[in-house]
């Protein structure tokens, strides 16, 4: 006959806070009175009365020298005014959740909203909430009452705000919200059911579905205890007891599974007594020792900053996640403490029902909340993995998240590992910004466990990989072999190409068939290029590479596409005293000798031709080996063919060929780069 105790049975933090405040005042020697019973539990109130605590119904009843405690249910605003006028020494033990509702209804009512309150109109908490509304306010307890209320007036254009008593039935609240959204167009809904109340009701409902019998422990005057009973009765037989003695009076306390829950105003001592009695009943039946008190002790255990816990995700909001950590506290993990990814949402990381590891950041016993962090727990666990990786000389993979002064930060297992600039790339002058946002493999080279910091090296991994690649390269390289590489750097005399762990150089003369002044005219750092091996120096580990292709040789193109006798258009590119050079194609220029410019005598070439001018010429001679081409404009002009003779220019010439003087030949060679 297993007995299962609900995790959140007993005092909620608001009740616990109020009771502790009264007992603390008694310890200080104060004479205490409470404005109404401090909580709805006859036995606890009786204990306080034995200690001298009086219960009063208004501030006017407070005696001289007494300290008045406002109970956790809260009071109307008018009561605070009475206290101030009377000059009474007082302590506000209003539950923070209730105080939050006071603030909401006051602000919305002052703004002109009709305020709707879901709850028992006679309950002190609801009386207090209504007492903070300066404007119109209505109380309802069912969806039917809400519909009748809507018929009383036209609310189509009026703003309406709706809240609930903290202990209101969760299922009824959902029904009321759905109804109100249809009835009031200008509705604003504020979910004010206490998280402890919601958790209790959800747990009680789930437990009652699994149990053959439910035992609800709490005062019959307690609203939240009554709600628990209502929830459980829908699923299985349920009994409500205020004390362990009442449990002994019950009959038929036997079922395959018995579930136990308790109202938020039920002291732990009473729950313990009930569980102890149930253990004795179990022993009578089975003759074995059972202790259900341990479960209660577990839920009451203290928590502290820095404590590592396991929790279960109970709800997910856009900016935070609620976590059940198995104590009376409600745990919250802010989105910023869930992940380091600024673009991630809570839904991307966890789902309702997930078990997660967290670390306690801050405990607020006054409000019964705990601020938790998943990412910091992960960081601690991650740092252990970082330490282990260093011990094993293992390679880790992370994302480069930041480029900072002196290096980069790599995120791995939630830890930011610092990689100095000198260890971030193979070459000291590489741009570190190119690494940002990329995945990088690295080794941990230094650990500071006291400060939980690590230093890594990306270069160490790259060097190892390149060494292996280089060894394989030198074993397979041969002259004429083609490679795809990346331009690594440029100098005035050539370009260095990274072939994948091994560098080779393309001399400037091998970059282009044309004359260039700098390699940057052809390639840029980072370009991917196709090269071939021209020469290998195995002893000094040097590789000469070729880049320009035979099929791109302009003289090969000229030989293929042009022939002596062809008439073509050319562009004048330079002028000398003996003629003009004209561009046939890129890399091939021909000479129009001064004698071949016109039928008439030309005294000065510049008088007949200008740089940039396009003219039609005839190819009269082509010496591919010597890379010389002779062109003629005169050959296209109408004139009688002249016999070869020593003419007025002082050298032998004919229509189809030119014999150059030594001076002219030297100028021609210079123009061709020879």
Helix, coil or strand: residue 239: strand
Cβ neighbours for 239, distance < 8 A, ≥ 6 positions apart: 213, 214, 215, 216, 250
pLDDT at position 190, please? Answer: 93
| 57 annotated ligand binder | no
| 12 annotated ligand binder | yes
Helix, coil or strand: residue 362: strand
| 95 annotated ligand binder | yes
Looking from the CA of 189 toward its CB, the CA atoms found within 13 Å total 16
Q: How many CB atoms lie within 10 A of CB 328?
A: 24
**Alpha helix positions (H), 567-661:** 605-608
Residue 250 contacts residue 239 (beta carbons within 8 Å)? yes
pLDDT at position 336, please? Answer: 87
Residue 444 contacts residue 453 (beta carbons within 8 Å)? no
Query: Cα separation of 628 and 408, whole Å?
Result: 58
Q: Name the residue among 607, 589, 585 with its Cα closest to residue 597.
A: 607
H-helix or E-strand spanning residue 226 = helix 223-233
H-helix or E-strand spanning residue 183 = helix 170-183
Residue 255 has which token pair? Answer: 């079922």
197-234 CB burial, b ≥16 within 10 A, e <16: bbbbbebbbebbeebebbbbbbbeebbbbbbbbbbbee
Give the mean pLDDT per block of 10 residues along the chain (674 residues): 72 78 90 89 85 92 93 92 92 90 95 93 93 94 88 82 90 90 90 79 88 88 85 90 76 73 79 76 49 50 80 86 81 87 83 90 77 86 88 92 91 88 84 90 88 88 82 83 89 88 87 84 89 87 83 82 93 93 90 92 91 94 90 83 44 42 52 47
Q: Mind listing the domains of the chain with CATH numbers? A: 8-92 (3.40.50.11270), 96-189 (3.40.1010.20), 197-203+210-288 (3.40.1010.20), 308-377 (2.40.50.140), 393-462 (2.40.50.140), 477-548 (2.40.50.140), 554-671 (2.40.50.140)
Catalytic-role residue among 64, 84, 125, 294: 125
Helix axes 143-150, 170-183, angle to 10 degrees: 20
**Alpha helix positions (H), 222-363:** 223-233, 244-249, 268-286, 293-300, 346-349
| 265 annotated ligand binder | yes
| 661 annotated ligand binder | no
Residue 355 contacts residue 310 (beta carbons within 8 Å)? yes
| 507 annotated ligand binder | no
Q: Is the dihedral of CA 569, 570, 571, 572 positive or negative?
A: negative
Residue 89 contacts residue 59 (beta carbons within 8 Å)? no
| 166 annotated ligand binder | yes
Looking from the CA of 470 toward its CB, the CA atoms found within 13 Å total 15
Q: What's the per-residue H, E or C state across 50-75?
A: HCCCEEECCHHHCCCCEEEEECCCCC
For the CA atoms of 185, 191, 192, 197, the dihedral, rounded to the nearest 10 degrees, stands at 140
616 catalytically annotated: no
The count of residues in the chain is 674
In the chain, the N- to C-terminal Cα span, in Å, equals 106
């Amino acid at each position: 006959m297993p007995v299962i105790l609900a995790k959140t049975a007993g005092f909620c933090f608001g009740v616990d806070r109020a009771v502790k405040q009264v007992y603390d005042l008694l310890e200080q020697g104060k004479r205490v009175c409470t404005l109404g019973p401090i909580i709805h539990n006859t036995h606890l109130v009786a204990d306080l009365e034995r200690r001298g605590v009086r219960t009063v119904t208004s501030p006017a009843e407070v005696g001289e020298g007494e300290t008045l405690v406002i109970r956790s249910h809260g009071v109307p605003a008018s009561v605070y005014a009475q206290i101030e006028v009377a000059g009474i020494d007082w302590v506000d033990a209003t539950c923070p959740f209730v105080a939050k509702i006071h603030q909401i209804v006051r602000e919305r009512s002052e703004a002109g909203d009709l305020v709707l309150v879901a709850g028992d109109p006679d309950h002190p908490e609801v009386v207090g909430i209504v007492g903070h509304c300066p404007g119109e306010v209505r109380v309802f307890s069912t969806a039917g009452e809400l519909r009748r209320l809507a018929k009383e007036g036209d609310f189509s254009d009026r703003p309406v705000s709706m809240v609930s008593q903290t202990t209101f039935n969760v299922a009824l609240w959902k029904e009321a919200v759905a109804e109100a959204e249809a009835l009031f167009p200008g509705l604003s809904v504020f979910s004010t059911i206490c998280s402890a109340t919601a958790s209790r009701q959800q747990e009680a409902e789930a437990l009652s579905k699994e149990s053959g019998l439910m035992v609800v422990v709490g005062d019959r005057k307690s609203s939240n205890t009554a709600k628990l009973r209502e929830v459980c009765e829908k699923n299985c037989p349920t009994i409500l007891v205020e004390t362990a003695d009442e449990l002994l009076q019950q009959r038929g306390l036997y079922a395959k599974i018995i579930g136990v829950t308790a109202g938020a105003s039920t002291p732990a001592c009473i729950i313990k007594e009930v569980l102890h009695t149930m253990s004795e009943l179990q022993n009578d039946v089975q003759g074995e020792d059972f202790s259900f008190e341990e479960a209660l002790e577990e839920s009451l255990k203290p928590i502290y900053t820095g404590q590592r816990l396991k929790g279960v995700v109970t709800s997910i909001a856009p900016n935070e996640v609620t976590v059940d950590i198995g104590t009376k506290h409600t745990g919250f993990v802010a989105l910023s403490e869930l992940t380091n990814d600024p673009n991630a949402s809570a839904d991307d990381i966890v789902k309702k029902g997930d078990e997660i590891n967290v670390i306690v950041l801050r405990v607020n016993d006054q409000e019964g909340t705990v601020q938790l962090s998943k990412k910091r727990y992960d960081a601690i666990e991650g740092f252990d993995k970082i330490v282990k990786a260093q011990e094993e000389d293992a390679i880790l993979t992370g994302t480069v998240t930041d480029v900072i002064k002196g290096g980069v930060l790599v995120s791995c297992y939630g830890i930011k590992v610092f990689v100095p600039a000198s260890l971030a790339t193979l070459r000291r002058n590489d741009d570190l910004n190119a690494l940002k946002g990329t995945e990088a493999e690295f080794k941990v080279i230094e650990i500071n466990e006291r400060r939980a910091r690590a230093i890594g090296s990306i270069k160490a991994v790259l060097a190892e990989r390149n060494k292996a690649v280089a060894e394989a390269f030198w074993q397979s390289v041969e002259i004429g072999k083609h490679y795809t590489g990346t331009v690594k750097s440029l100098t005035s005399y050539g370009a260095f190409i990274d072939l994948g762990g091994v560098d080779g150089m393309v001399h400037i003369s091998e970059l282009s068939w044309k004359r260039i002044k700098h390699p940057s005219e052809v390639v840029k750092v980072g370009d991917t290029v196709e090269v071939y091996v021209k020469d290998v120096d195995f002893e000094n580990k040097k590789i000469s590479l070729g880049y320009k292709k035979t099929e791109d040789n302009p003289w090969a193109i000229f030989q293929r596409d042009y022939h002596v006798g062809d008439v073509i258009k050319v562009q004048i590119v330079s002028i000398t005293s003996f003629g003009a050079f004209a561009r046939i194609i890129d890399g091939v220029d021909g000479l129009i000798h001064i004698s071949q410019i016109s039928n008439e005598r030309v005294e000065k070439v510049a008088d007949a031709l200008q740089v940039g001018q396009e003219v039609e010429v005839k190819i009269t001679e082509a010496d591919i080996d010597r890379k010389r081409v002779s062109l003629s404009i005169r050959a296209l002009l109408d004139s009688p063919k002249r016999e070869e003779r020593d003419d007025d220019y002082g050298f032998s010439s004919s229509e189809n060929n030119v014999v150059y003087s030594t001076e002219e030949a030297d100028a021609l060679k210079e123009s061709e780069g020879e």
